[in-house]
Structure 1
Amino acid sequence: MSLSRCLPLGQNARVIIIPARFAHAAPASTNAASDDAPNYFQKIALRFQGVPLKGEAHAPKSAFDDANKEWSAPEVLPAIPKDFKEHPDRDLVNYPYPARPMYPPKTRLLMMPDSWFTAFNNVTGVSGPYLFFGGLFAFLLNKELWVFEEQGHMTVGWILFYLLVKNTSGYKIDQSLYQGYQERVNFFKGLIQEDLKDAVQFRKTSAAETESLNAIKEALPTALKESMALQLEATYRKNVQTVATELKRRIDYLKETEETKQRFEKEQLLKLINSSVEKQINDKSFKDQYLSNAIQQLKGLNLSV
C-alpha cells in the first residue's frame, strides 16, 4: 500500500484505499473519466511516476533521476611535469610530488580499502581477509576493547543514510565538486594569463621582428652596398660643391682685384692729366701762345668767308 486517494461522495463520504499495484493503472482511467483534470492525490501519483501533467511539455524532474549513476570526469586532472622543480635542490626521487587521485580508491564492505584485502590473498586466499577482520571485530567486542554504548545501534542507521545519499545524490555532488574545481582552475589560469600578458606580447613582437629580419637577410648585402655607394656619391657631390664654391670665391677675388687696379690707374691718370693741365693753364707763355693761335684761326675763318 503506497498511495491513497479520497473521493467525495456527497454527504456520505467514503475513503477508498487503492493498492499500489493498481495505482499505476488508476490515473489513466481516472484522467479519461474526469476530462483530463486529476485531483490532488492523482497529481502526486503522476509526479512519482514521472508522467507530465496537462500543459507540461516535459516530464517532471525528480531527486532520484541520477540515482545509481557513475560519474566520470570529462577531463582528467593536469599532471605535474616530470622535470618541474620549485628549487634546483629538490629531490624528486626520494620525495616526489604527491599525485592527486582522480577517483576514490576501490573499497570493500562500503568503507575498507581494497589494499587491506589484497595483502592476504597470497597467504590465506580470497576468504582470508574477511575471516581476519570478522574475527578481529568479534575479539574486540568479546574482550570489550571496543565498547558499544546504548546508542551504538544508530551506526546502522547512519550507514544506511550514507548509502542512500551516496546512491541518490552522489552523482550530483561529484559533478558540482568537479565544476567548482574547474572554476578554481580557470581562475588561476586567468591570473597566470594576466601575469604573462606582457611576456606573450613581447614574444609575438620578437617573432614578428625575427620574421622581418629573416625577410631582409638576403637583400641586406645589396642594401649595404647601395647605401655605401649613395654615401660616396653624396661625399663626391659635397666635395665638388666645395671646390666650385672655392673657385668662384677666388675668381671673384681676382676680378675685384683687377677692377680695383684699373680704377686706381684711371684715377691716377686723371689726376696726373688734371695736374698737368692746371700747370699749363697757370703758365703765362702758354696763355699767350693759345691766344695767338686762336686769333690766327679767327683770321683764317674771316678770309674764307
Structure 2
Amino acid sequence: MLSRLALRNAQKLPAVASSTQALATEAPTFSRPVRAEKGGAVRMGFIPDEWFTFFYPKTGVTGPYTFGVGLTTYLVSKEIYVLEHEYYTGLSIAIMLIYATKKFGPVLASYTDKWNAEYLDELNGARNDEIKTMEDAIAAEKDAQWRAEGQTLLMEAKRQNIAMQLEAAYRERMAKVFSEVKKRLDYQAQVQVVERRIGQKHMADWIISNVLKSITPEQEKATLQQCLVDLQGMAAKN
C-alpha cells in the first residue's frame, strides 16, 4: 500500500511542478497567513482524522478500525509488543492524562484563550497605532500638498500683482515722458513765437528809422504844410 501511495505521489509531481511554474509566472500575491484557532479533527482523542479517511477509498469506513485491531492483535500475539508492567503503567498514565484533560482542560483552555486574546489585542493595538500614525502622516502629506498648491496660487497672484505694478510704473513714466516732451515742444514753440515777434519789431523799427532818416527837414515841412492845407479844405467842405 505504501508503494502505491509513493507511486501515486510520484505521478502527481509533474502536475505540481507545472502548477508551481504557472504560479511563478503569475504576479506575486502576498496573502496574510491566518493562524488556526483550533487543531485538526481527531478520533479517539488523539488519532488524526486523516489516518481514517486515508483507508476509505480502499477499505471503506470500517477499514481503519479493522486495521488497528488486526495490527494490535498481531503485535500482541507474536509478542512483538509484550504486555508487561510498563504497558499497565502507560495505560494508567494515559487514563490520568485523559482525566486531567477532561477535568482541567477547559479551565486551562479558557485561561490560555484569554491570555492569547490579550496578547493579540496588544499586538493589534500596536498595529492599529502604527496604521493610525501612517494615516495621520498621509493626511499631513495631503495637507502639505494642498498648502503647496495654495503657495503656487499665491505666487501666481503675486506675479500678476508685480506685472500690474510694472505696467502702472511704465504708464506713469510714459505719461511723464509725454509731459516733459510736451513742455519742451511748447517751450520751443514759444521761443519761435518770441523770436518771430522780436524779428518783426526789429524789422518795423529798422524800416521806420530808415524812412525817418530818409526824410529831410524841407520834405517834412512841405508835408506838414500839405497836411494843414488838406485839413483846411476838409473843414471848408464841412
Higher RCO (C-alpha 8 Å, min separation 6) = 1
Structure with greater helix percent: 2
TM-score, normalization by structure 2: 0.47
